Structure 1
Amino acid sequence: MSGEPEVARTPEEEETEEEEIKSSYRPPPEKTIEEILAADQEDESLRKYKEALLGQAQAGTVIVEPDDPRKVIVKKLALCVTDRADLELDLTGDLTDLKKQVFIIKEGVQYRIRIDFIVQREIVHGLKYVQKTYRIGVPVDKMTHMVGSYPPKTEIQSYTTPPEDAPSGMMARGAYTVNSLFTDDDKNIHLQWEWSFEIKKDWKD
């Protein structure tokens, strides 16, 4: 979202934008943990750096949730505003229930979105968070963030977006629907969900 409501774009314009993103980004070739560790063994400092980066992954397969075959398990979305408690969405249950929970956001406030997730079994390459915002069914904003590549770990890992400004002004107030997508270089859809927020004049309005 930006400070001013955006002019709705046609599907053709959105498709062109997505193609530009795809054409300007080249995903690296996928490598196993063993291949990454084996490369550049003659460079002692680089070898130690990679071992520290991969951490638990080099000791063997990391499996946090054995009954879940996915490499990436998205746990939570949080709306983070300075000096306020985070507004959180639990993404581990029935995603249709998320539509019943509406975030109230004060107009013009600066916020960030944090995604908490688990990576297990093997390295995931080129994670990407895509968010499309709609008002009365009309697209008003879209943002795409390259999250990066992550090794498997037993701990929850997180990505926080750069700060964004919520819309402000009488015309900006109202209800919005958001379609969120967590994907990667291989076009795996790790999670896709819909949630809602409402812009108001004040937090308690």
Structure 2
Amino acid sequence: MSHTHEATEDDLNPTQTEGYKVGQSRTVAELAALDQEDESLQRWKQSLGIGAATGGGVKKVILKTLFLSSPTLTQPISIDLTQPAAELSKLKKEPVTIKEGVEYSVGITFVIENEIISGLKYLQVVKRSGLKVDKTEAMLGSYGPQPEPYTKIFASEESPSGMLARSGSYNVRSRVIDDDNHVWLDFEWGFKLAKEW
């Protein structure tokens, strides 16, 4: 493959914080069993979704949607991440339209099943004509299992504007990874800039 592809792989590796070590991984059941005699600690654990009835099974992150919202948009633009890989791959050839020169935010919804996931991160590299024009690395956080989806919205940005920005489309590669370097999502999609949504 070309250097461009290799650079993308490097770009999609999360930055490492010097001196940071991933803590010992414990199951929900192990955490629920700790400090059984401390009533207030047990209530706090329950509020986090850590209880004797939870846990068990393999860690699982189910990515639901990647969405874009803006004060100038009547309804968020949403990508269904639960669709088959073949359907997701079409998004690269069918770019999303983003209005030029507006403030927007990207967000993601996901469900955590069975065990705690720590250090979940969202990485995104935007390229145009093979050249990297933007990189986003956002910490999603650590989460316990629960049936309701979590939603995380990233810092707002302003879309580029002008005739040059509107010519051509942008390729995006998005990845969700955790502290154990398990990749939960890795897909490519595209967008183009226009005068209107």
Deviates more, 1:130-139 or 1:35-44: 35-44
Q: Does 1:89 align with 2:79?
A: yes
Q: 1:71 aligns with which of 60, 76, 80?
A: 60
- Would the alpha carbon gap of residues 71 and 196 (structure 1) be closer, same or farther in structure 2, given more than 3 Å must change? same
Query: Whose strand fraction is larger, Structure 1's or Structure 2's?
Result: 2
Paired residue secondary structure (1:156): strand
Question: Which residue matches 2:176?
Answer: 182
Question: Mind listing any 5+ residue stretches in structure 2 that lack a counterpart?
Answer: 1-5
Paired residue secondary structure (1:49): helix
Q: How many residues align?
A: 186
| Letter in structure 1 aligned against 2:69 | C
| Letter in structure 1 aligned against 2:43 | K
Cα shift at 1:18 = 5.8
**Distance in 1 between the 2:112 and 2:17 partners?**
27
Q: Conserved in 2, the CA contact under 8 Å of 1:62 and 1:154?
A: no
- Would the alpha carbon gap of residues 59 and 107 (structure 1) be closer, same or farther in structure 2, given more than 3 Å must change? same
| Letter in structure 2 aligned against 1:148 | G
**Distance in 1 between the 2:186 and 2:52 partners?**
30
> For residues 1-205 of structure 1, what are the structure 2 equivalents within 5 Å?
11=7, 21-24=15-18, 25-41=20-36, 43-54=38-49, 58-61=52-55, 71-82=60-71, 83-93=73-83, 94=86, 95-174=88-167, 175-203=169-197
Q: Conserved in 1, the CA contact under 8 Å of 2:100 and 2:194?
A: yes
Paired residue secondary structure (2:109): strand
Paired residue secondary structure (1:77): strand
Q: Deviations over 1:86-114 (max 9, x none)?
A: 11111222321222432111112111111
Paired residue secondary structure (1:50): helix
TM-score normalised to the size of structure 2?
A: 0.80
Paired residue secondary structure (1:29): coil
Deviates more, 1:147-156 or 1:175-184: 147-156
Paired residue secondary structure (2:147): coil
Q: Deviations over 1:22-63 (max 9, x none)?
A: 1345433322112323445565434322211116x6413478
Cα shift at 1:77 = 0.9
Q: Conserved in 1, the CA contact under 8 Å of 2:12 and 2:124?
A: no
Question: Mind listing any 5+ residue stretches in structure 1 that lack a counterpart?
Answer: 1-9, 64-68
TM-score normalised to the size of structure 1?
A: 0.78
| Letter in structure 1 aligned against 2:82 | T
Cα shift at 1:70 = 6.5
- Would the alpha carbon gap of residues 111 and 29 (structure 1) be closer, same or farther in structure 2, given more than 3 Å must change? farther
Paired residue secondary structure (2:118): strand
Cα shift at 1:194 = 0.6
RMSD between aligned residues:
2.9
- Would the alpha carbon gap of residues 58 and 131 (structure 1) be closer, same or farther in structure 2, given more than 3 Å must change? farther
